[in-house]
Chain A
Amino acid sequence: MPTILKIRIILFSILALVIIFLIYKALSPFGEITYTAQPCGNSFFIQKLKPKDRVSGDCQNIITGDPVYFNLNTQRTFNQAEVKINYKNSGHNKIVEIGIMADERKNYRLKPLDNIILDNLNWNTLEKDGIYLFQKENNYNSIDEFLNKIPDKNEILTYFYDLPPQKELSELKKFEPTLSSKNRTATRLIENDLRGPYQFYTYTADGILEFEFLFSDLNINKDADNIKIVVYDLENNIMAQREMQDERGGEETRNTVNAEGLHLDLTNLKKGFYKIELITNDDIITTQIPASQKIVAFINRIWLAYSSNTDLITLFSDASEVTASTINPQALQKILVNKDVLNLSETYKQFSLPANEGVNTIKFAKNDVIISGSGVFSFSKEELYNPNYKKLVKNTNLEDINYIITTYQPDKTNDDWQTKTLTFDLKNSLWYENNYGFIISVPSLISDDNVNDYIEVGDIEIKLKGRSLLDKVKELINF
């Protein structure tokens, strides 16, 4: 065989091997693949932390602001990701969490990575099947005993563990006469304009839920402003949904138009709490919510839309930290949280204040403010009720708390650098343009606050598991 032919065969064989390697890596025929990234490396698969103004250091791996994101680029979908992360907490950050993007609305499913509050807690600890119960006094001998005889709601905090929500409440019995069908004429109205999506808890004593939602459309964004209302029970089962497609047009014209409304009238429901979610974008203003329900407690976040009304606005909340932000320079102001002043002094920045009264009062003069916190918000004290147990957050006051139940495994080691592994379900996560989106949330980190707090991220290793090629073939044959 001539030499030149041998060289040709060798060169084309190398090319064939390269192509096989690339296809093998893309298909991962055995259903498993592992990607790693070093802090200063340039991994194509595990991308750099962003945005850049919340990270520092030569390798852009020191987190100084909350939250930061990174993408995992894959050629195919997988079922599970084991994220092994090496990190150093400066010691000031009580809570660090990692999450994966669950849907197109950029909701993230979070998991606890580091919780200094629980790590340093010297309470009695019980453990069973990855569930940890911290108790101030040794009142329970097992987690089963605790779950069978759950103490008063106000004594318990949960952290990444869902205790069954209270479906019916004896405390609400006093409301029942006003909620019965006989008294349905007692219609109430939420008059404050609300911007964008929101969700709230409501309660029915007689199985009837009746709401009217009236909307207007700001037409600022380019996307169609569709509106969807979903009613869930407390197990997150969908009970009803109503939808309205945007056929008004006029996007980006900035002309505010009436967007009509959606009516919700459900009967024969079981007595108890329900969650109502409005799914839309920030162009939609809810102008009125005439309702016959007594309890309307907004969950975690409420955006009071801009209006010329200059009346003092009062909100009530059970959140142990109140956060305010705005995108409107005219809305900069001082907000009164109980007796403390929260100075909303800059746009596009979040300002927080601890609020440790059972029911916190938030007062402010100007609209177009986003008020958020881990808890519920309402326009009157009577409307405020949270069927869920309070969650442990960075500023929670543990004085009146006797029990904390969690799936977080407390870490008693005092090493600067720690390595932990978290498992994420990818089947119910968003895979968009070949990427899974991850978030690292450190609620106490604020960029440019002149506090030397940070999280330094070292190596990240992500082990992906999914269907093998054989499984896929078997599936196709069975189909």
Chain B
Amino acid sequence: MFYKITKEIFHVLFVALIIFIVMELIAPNIVQAYISLNLVLILWLLSGIVLLVFDKK
């Protein structure tokens, strides 16, 4: 279950990152004013690393 939840978080963070970057390109600072894109990127990478470490295969 932990693996599955982490996988969902990984996916949603990836989508969030893409949407946030597009939003930033359209209107600079629209996201950065409230949420650090660096933080989102780090969380996404961490979730990816967790997925690799606990890879079921």
Contacts and interface: CB of A to CB of B under 8 A. Distances in A.
Say if A and B assemble together: yes
Interface of A: 3-4, 7-8, 11-12, 14-15, 18-19, 21-23, 25-26, 44-45, 73, 75, 434
Tell me whether chain A's interface is mostly helix, strand or loop, or mixed.
helix
Interface residues of B, number: 20
Contacts of A19: 19, 23
The CB with the most chain A CB atoms within 10 A, among B8, B9, B31, B32, is that of B8
B9 A11 contact: yes
13 contacts: A3-B1, A7-B4, A7-B8, A11-B9, A11-B12, A15-B12, A15-B16, A15-B19, A18-B35, A19-B23, A45-B33, A75-B29, A434-B28
B8 A4 contact: yes
Nearest to B7: A4
A4 B4 CA distance: 7
B8 A75 contact: no
Contacts of A4: 4-5, 8
Contacts of B30: 22-23, 26, 75
Given A22-B35, A75-B30, A75-B33, 7 more contacts: A7-B5, A15-B12, A15-B15, A19-B19, A26-B27, A44-B33, A44-B34
A166 B4 CA distance: 81
B28 A22 contact: no
Contacts, number: 48
10 closest A-B pairs by CB: A11-B12, A44-B33, A26-B30, A15-B16, A4-B4, A8-B8, A7-B8, A15-B12, A11-B8, A22-B30
B20 to A, nearest CB: 8
A12 B29 contact: no
A15 B20 CA distance: 10
Contacts of B33: 25, 44-45, 73, 75
Contacts of A75: 27, 29-30, 33
Nearest to B12: A11
A73 B9 contact: no
Contacts of A15: 12, 15-16, 19
B24 to A, nearest CB: 10
Contacts of B27: 26, 75
Nearest to B4: A4
Given A4-B8, A7-B8, A22-B23, A73 B29 contact: yes
Contacts of B12: 8, 11-12, 14-15
A7 to B, nearest CB: 5
B55 to A, nearest CB: 17
A91 B57 CA distance: 73
Contacts of A26: 27, 30
A7 B12 CA distance: 11
A468 B33 CA distance: 21
B34 to A, nearest CB: 6
A21 to B, nearest CB: 8
Nearest to B23: A22
A3 B2 CA distance: 12
A8 to B, nearest CB: 5
Contacts of B34: 21-22, 25, 44
A73 B9 CA distance: 32
Contacts of B28: 434
A15 B43 CA distance: 14
B16 A44 contact: no
Given A7-B5, A22-B23, A44 B32 contact: yes
A75 B23 CA distance: 12
Contacts of B11: 8
Instruction: Point out which of A3, A21, A26 has the most chain B C-beta atoms below 10 A from its C-beta.
Output: A26
A22 B29 contact: no
Contacts of A25: 33-34
A32 B7 CA distance: 40
A4 B16 CA distance: 19
Contacts of A18: 16, 35
Contacts of B19: 15, 19
Residue of B5, B12, B23 ringed by the most chain A CB atoms within 10 A: B12
A26 B35 CA distance: 13
A4 B30 CA distance: 31
Contacts of B23: 19, 22
A434 B29 contact: yes
Nearest to B33: A44
A299 to B, nearest CB: 39
